[in-house]
Amino acid sequence: MSLLWLLLVPAVGGVLAWMAGARHPAWPRWIALFVLAVELLIALSLIGPAMSSGQTAWIASLDRSWIPQLGISFELDLDGLSLVLILLTIALSLVSVVISWTEITDRVGLFHANLLWTTTGVIGVFLALDLFLFFFFWELMLVPMYFLIALWGHEHRFYAAIKFFIFTQGSGLVMLVAILVLVFVHQQTTGHFTFDYLALLGTRMSPTTAFWLMLGFFLAFAVKLPAVPFHTWLPDAHTEAPTAGSVLLAGILLKTGAYGLLRFVVPLFPGAAHAFAPVAMALGVIGILYAALLAFGQNDMKRLVAYSSVSHMGFVLLGVFAWNTLALQGVVVQMLAHGISTGALFILVGALQERIHTRDMRLMGGLWGSIPHLSAFGMVFAIASLGLPGLGNFIGEFLILLGSFRASVPFTVIAAGGLVAGAAYALLMVQRAFHGRASPRPGAAKPVDLTAPHLAVMGGLVLAIIGLGLYPQPVFDQVAPGLAVLQHNGAPVLLAAGTR
């Protein structure tokens, strides 16, 4: 039942925030904060051991009749993987509310409503285990995100928002067709017309069918992840979105792509996924290096962070298709660490833009002298992003490389080069923005440093990234049963990959 509350609380909270916005601009902020705090408490109360029973490892589940005529039920299930990602979602939504406190002054109610609805959709994606319900939430989360970009974004927001929407919706429809073909194939072999994930696991089909269906799912998730060459929507969307939008996009929406690969692509089509693994890993490696190279060449700080995000998600793709325990643990930590570090970097870029009204690094330089706190945090997260040991990203990238080494040595060797490239762009960013000589900005007042709410948020994020870097074991413990079940279902890949 608490799973239903996880969805209802932010959905209803969004409506309340919208209505309250008409009365006073401060109310939606407090409502959103309160709602998310309640949500966080509900999610924290779910932390605990999974009820392991053979094929499943659910911490909690809920199954209600929804559209019985079409074999669709309202089925929510929570395992360790979902829980960890949901906690990340709620935490980053809270952060988004705090950092929008001064940035968003226009239509505050609607803004917070959209923020909470995005959260609802994403949590739904992480919980739904009926394929139709999953698709429902998958589409649902796009709409409020679209509005966040289109209404509160920067100069080219409409272009970026429409591009984002068309990319994700188009690939989503391909996935819908793949879902339906899978359901019909299942009906032909068993006589049951159902969208239930657990029933559809292990559906027998010819390798060709499996391959095309797998590709249909993969396309949707690869666009969302994003994997090169489907990444072109991301730099635009990130750059034009308001800070909170960027945090949500990078921190959570991208994770739904990785989650989909883990939960659906490999377990539903183990054979096909294995056959496809070399291609997917190659895409991952290309993504790591190519996006790092692009990040290196950017003058716009936000675009740099956006491309670094693509590069980091390349590691996730590599790890998912290596499909062994080490790599999968690495993928989970990488997702969390990326959510925290990239989110933090977007917040800092947003704060910087609020202060000096530019994101162009050619116009920055020497900021450490005038805004030391912001600059210091910028450096911490830049080196987190490049994978310094002791910080979360290192654990993720290291484990992914360790795992993929077993699956494929050449890909691992090339991917490791991405760490060097990461160091190059991250340090260059610190160098150009915060060090060096201050570039003259005639007529501009001296920028003010981070205020108390921002400092608190950044402090929390620093603690989280250090905690994840020094003691990631609780996360491993929480996700282990869920990952074991996934690995069991995607078994052929494991066997084949292990023998290589």
Partner 1 sequence: MTAAAFTAFAPFTLLGAVTIAVMLLMAIHRSHHLIARSTIIGLLLCCIALPLAAPASPTEVTPLFAVDGTALFYSGLVLGSALIVAILSYAYLEGSPQGPREEYYLLLLTATLGAALLPASVHFASFFLDLETLSISLLGLIAYTNPRGNAAEAGIKYLVLGGASSAFLLFGMALIYADLGTMSFIRIGQLAHADGAADLYCLVGVAMILTGVGFKLSLVPFHMWTPDIYEGAPAPITGFVAVVSKIAVFAVILRYFILAEGPADASLRTGIAAIAILSMLGGNLLALLQDNVKRLLAYSSIAHLGYLLVAFLAAGSLGIEAAAYYLAAYAVTSLGAFGIVALLSAPGPGRDADRIEDYRGLFRTRPFLAGSLALMLLSLAGIPPTMGFIGKFYLIISGVGAGLFWPVAALVAGSVIGLYYYLRVLVAMAMPVPAEHKAAPPEAAPFFGNAVIAVLLMLLLALGVYPAPAIALIRMTVGATPW
Query: Interface with partner 1 includes 191 (CB under 8 A)?
Result: no
Residue 211 or 296 having the CB closest to partner 1 = 211
Question: In a 10 Å sphere around its CB, with 0-12 CB exposed, 13-18 middle and 19+ buried, how is residue 336 labelled?
Answer: buried
C-beta of 166: minimal distance to partner 1 in Å?
5
Q: Which two tokens stand for residue 366?
A: 């020497």
Q: In angstroms, rounded to a whole number, what is the distance separating the alpha carbons of residues 128 and 138?
A: 10
Integer Cα distance of 196 and 342 in angstroms: 35
State yes or no: residue 16 binds partner 1 (CB under 8 A): no
Let me know: does 315 contact 288? Beta carbons within 8 Å.
Answer: yes
Closest among 152, 113, 114 to 20, alpha carbons compared: 113
Question: What does the angle CA 120 – CA 121 – CA 122 come to, to the nearest 5 degrees?
Answer: 95
12 binds partner 1 (CB under 8 A): no
C-alpha dihedral (210, 214, 216, 219), degrees to nearest 10: -160
Task: Tell me how far apart the alpha carbons of residues 445 and 464 are, in angstroms, rounded to a whole number.
Answer: 34
Q: Could you say whether residue 146 binds partner 1 (CB under 8 A)?
A: yes
Q: Does 70 bind partner 1 (CB under 8 A)?
A: yes
**Contact status: 162 vs partner 1 (CB under 8 A):** yes
Three-class secondary structure of residue 450 per DSSP? coil
Provide the residue count of the chain: 500
Q: Which is nearer to partner 1, 199 or 428 (CB)?
A: 199
Q: Rule CB under 8 A: say whether 208 interacts with partner 1.
A: no
Rule CB under 8 A: say whether 275 interacts with partner 1. Answer: no
For residues 48 and 206, what is the distance between their CA atoms, to the nearest angstrom?
Answer: 40
113 or 333: CB nearest partner 1? 113
Q: Report which of 80, 193, 195 is spatially closest to residue 136, judged by C-alpha positions.
A: 195
Write down the least CB distance from residue 484 to partner 1, Å.
Answer: 33
Scanning residues 40 to 69, which ones bind partner 1 (CB under 8 A)?
A: 65-69
In the stretch 114-133, what mask flags binding to partner 1 with x, by CB under 8 A? ------------------x-
Q: Judged by CB, which is closer to partner 1: 147, or 269?
A: 147
Nearest residue to 80 via CA among 56, 62, 55, 58: 58
In the complex with partner 1, which residue's Cβ is closer, 239 or 385?
A: 239
Task: With contacts defined by CB under 8 A, name the span among 34-42, 180-188, 221-229, 459-467 that binds partner 1.
Answer: 180-188
**Both structure tokens of 71:** 């074999």
Residue 215 touches partner 1, criterion: CB under 8 A: no
CB of 173 to partner 1, least distance (A): 5
> Is 227 a residue that touches partner 1 (CB under 8 A)?
no
Q: Is 158 in the site for partner 1 (CB under 8 A)?
A: yes
State the minimum distance, in angstroms, from the CB of residue 470 to partner 1: 42
Per-position x/- string for 75-114, each x denoting binding to partner 1 as judged by CB under 8 A, each - no binding:
----------------------------------------
Q: Which member of 97, 161, 340, 364 binds partner 1 (CB under 8 A)? A: 161
The answer to whether 165 contacts partner 1 (rule: CB under 8 A) is yes
Q: Please say which residue, 136 or 321, places its beta carbon nearer to partner 1.
A: 136
Specify which residues 52 forms β-bridges with: 57
Helices within 191-253 (DSSP H only)? 197-200, 207-224, 233-240, 243-248
Q: Does 150 bind partner 1 (CB under 8 A)?
A: yes
Among residues 151, 223, 261, 348, the one that binds partner 1 under rule CB under 8 A: 151
CB of 149: closest distance to partner 1 in angstroms?
11
For residue 130, list its beta bridge partners.
Answer: 196
Beta carbon nearer to partner 1, 25 or 492: 25
User: According to the binding rule CB under 8 A, does residue 279 interact with partner 1?
Assistant: no
Asked if omega into 226 is within 30° of 0 (cis), the reply is: yes
Nearer of residues 177 and 420 to partner 1, judged by Cβ:
177
The answer to whether 176 contacts partner 1 (rule: CB under 8 A) is yes
**By rule CB under 8 A, what count of residues binds partner 1?**
30
Closest CA to 284 of 322, 246, 255, 332: 322
The dihedral formed by the CA atoms of 4, 474, 94 and 38, expressed in degrees to the nearest 10: 40
- Contact region with partner 1 (CB under 8 A), list: 40-48, 179-187, 380-388, 423-431: 179-187
**434 lies in the binding site for partner 1 (CB under 8 A):** no
- Asked if 259 and 224 touch (Cβ cutoff 8 Å), the reply is no
Containing 86, the helix (H) or strand (E) segment is helix 80-103
Q: Token pair of 246, please?
A: 């960027």
Span near partner 1 by CB under 8 A; candidates 94-102, 155-163, 207-215, 345-353: 155-163
Name the amino acid, one letter, at 288: I
Q: Which is nearer to partner 1, 170 or 474 (CB)?
A: 170
Residues 6+ apart with CB under 8 A from 211: 269, 272, 275, 276
Question: Are 415 and 348 contacting, i.e. CB atoms less than 8 angstroms apart?
Answer: no
Closest CA to 229 of 290, 278, 171, 281: 290
Identity of the residue, 69 or 473, whose beta carbon is nearer to partner 1 in the bound complex: 69
Summarize as ranges the residues that interact with partner 1 (CB under 8 A).
65-70, 132, 136, 139-140, 142-143, 146-147, 150-151, 158, 161-162, 165-166, 169-170, 173-174, 176-177, 180-181, 184
